Structure 1
């Protein structure tokens, strides 16, 4: 006599497979994001994390948050995607709406990055809230335009936000940081020493990115009376002509950040170089030169070819 199939046994087997699949997927996701969150609770910890220790610790700064296919720039979902692959500073672009809400959008107009048309400043936040963001290829996504407040609330315990200027003054950006109690995980970009002094005089517990690309600028910044422990130094979008500037900045306890978005990254994004591995030495040479953080358009791809830190670093304790 032919036995009847044991439906109960089959059901149990299916359930076991499903649970196993969920567990494995969860474990894979956990491993993927392990040590990619930057967990900082105080401004003192931020200062420590962004100070120069000479212990081979490097960072990626994701330009516009690190957009990819289906992941728009200046979008919280994109930020999540970036930190799923690497600990990161996330550079974002604040802009005013018509009714003075500070949102994140790079261009002054809407066409390139959203489903809207016209100038941002001609629309209220309520009107802009109906739009969807586009990815780098112009594909419409399901994501809307975030506010700076939303980004600051999201970033706590996960990443460091770097607030560019665009049309929002340093005083206003600082005010929003303070209202969100976000001094422990925010950097404010200062495009002049005057702006840096304004910001520091308003709040001594604020980290700034200041443009210091030459030995002469290092000496000039010495005279501002702003502690070097309150800044990271942006040395430019090209390798500094004189390595001396990097050594001078390090001697003062600050780290150096350099942009690769206008040079090496373009070779990849424009398709001139097909395999990023072929550029590995070029990026590594910048780190060996003394560049501590790379501002890049391709943070996910870079995270796959560069060793940025090890557990021996004194700063590794801040990565979760």
Structure 2
């Protein structure tokens, strides 16, 4: 009888331990399944909690930029979408790598374009401090397959031809959870003509640039607007113009406030960005951003995502 009680106690301990592990490993997911969901999620209403974008996924010790492991780690702490960097290997495989060279973020040397995918996948990624990790460079196809049902990927403009980008999105039926960074209305128009459901991140710093996208026929519902890296008086006019059309405004702290020396300074800067009027905050430190801004809207989570 005593041995049965001990066995049952051990069994219950194992069950609770496993439940705790599952909970610890759960990830937040964005509530996006269709292109209609995608457009609605990124439309400005004035009533939504701010959205976090993980620049290159985020940068935490042990978790390298542009890696699936880093995306997963960020989602364990906060809902977010991710800006990522697609580039081509020598044999035209699209992989995720910010730099044209391998040295800073991998155990390799030289230009990515000098290596085949078979050679590249033997390398290991480094974290932001230069520590070698167990993680390797992912292909864009792998990232797309992973992201489905979890988040949105924003493809920055690097060296991948437009036709290759549209082809991989069609092949993977991925337009419901993909966004494309474009630098000109002409680039947006190319992708829009291929599929009118495409979502774009566009750089708009004045009314003339907004007018150019409208003249090119890109609907406001298909855009978010990156307006720069800092809080400044000129932002107020952009918020007024863009929000009136339902367009969310994004400020990226990656090149500015993320580099402040203390956590307190960075947290204050993140809060100031949201209080200034930005509805999307992009950062190398998305987990820190979530902690800093989560109390700005009482009763709401940072995003309308949910842990699964």
The answer for the alignment partner of 1:132 in structure 2 is: 124
CA distance, structure 2, for counterparts of residue 28 and residue 87 of structure 1: 15
The answer for the alignment partner of 1:300 in structure 2 is: 287
The answer for the alignment partner of 2:18 in structure 1 is: 22
The answer for the alignment partner of 1:252 in structure 2 is: 245
How much has 1:94 moved relative to structure 2?
Answer: 0.3
Where do residues 144-159 of structure 1 align in structure 2 (5 Å cutoff)?
144-159=136-151
> Structure 1 residues 309 and 121 mapped into 2: Cα distance closer, same or farther (>3 Å)?
farther
How much has 1:253 moved relative to structure 2?
Answer: 0.9
Q: Deviations over 1:140-169 (max 9, x none)?
A: 111111000110111011111000011113
Where do residues 1-320 of structure 1 align in structure 2 (5 Å cutoff)?
9-30=5-26, 33=27, 36-242=28-234, 243-267=236-260, 272-273=261-262, 276-307=263-294, 316=304
User: Does the Cα contact within 8 Å between 1:115 and 1:134 map onto a contact in 2?
Assistant: yes
Local SS of the residue matching 1:258: strand
After TM superposition, the score normalised by the length of structure 2 is 0.92
CA distance, structure 2, for counterparts of residue 54 and residue 77 of structure 1: 33
Local SS of the residue matching 1:205: coil
> Structure 1 residues 156 and 88 mapped into 2: Cα distance closer, same or farther (>3 Å)?
same
How much has 1:311 moved relative to structure 2?
Answer: 6.5
Local SS of the residue matching 2:144: helix
Aligned residues between the structures: 305
Q: Unaligned 5+ residue runs, structure 2?
A: none
Q: Unaligned 5+ residue runs, structure 1?
A: 1-5
CA distance, structure 2, for counterparts of residue 298 and residue 168 of structure 1: 27
The structure with the largest alpha-carbon Rg is: 1
User: Does the Cα contact within 8 Å between 1:56 and 1:309 map onto a contact in 2?
Assistant: no
How much has 1:57 moved relative to structure 2?
Answer: 2.1
After TM superposition, the score normalised by the length of structure 1 is 0.88
The answer for the alignment partner of 1:3 in structure 2 is: none
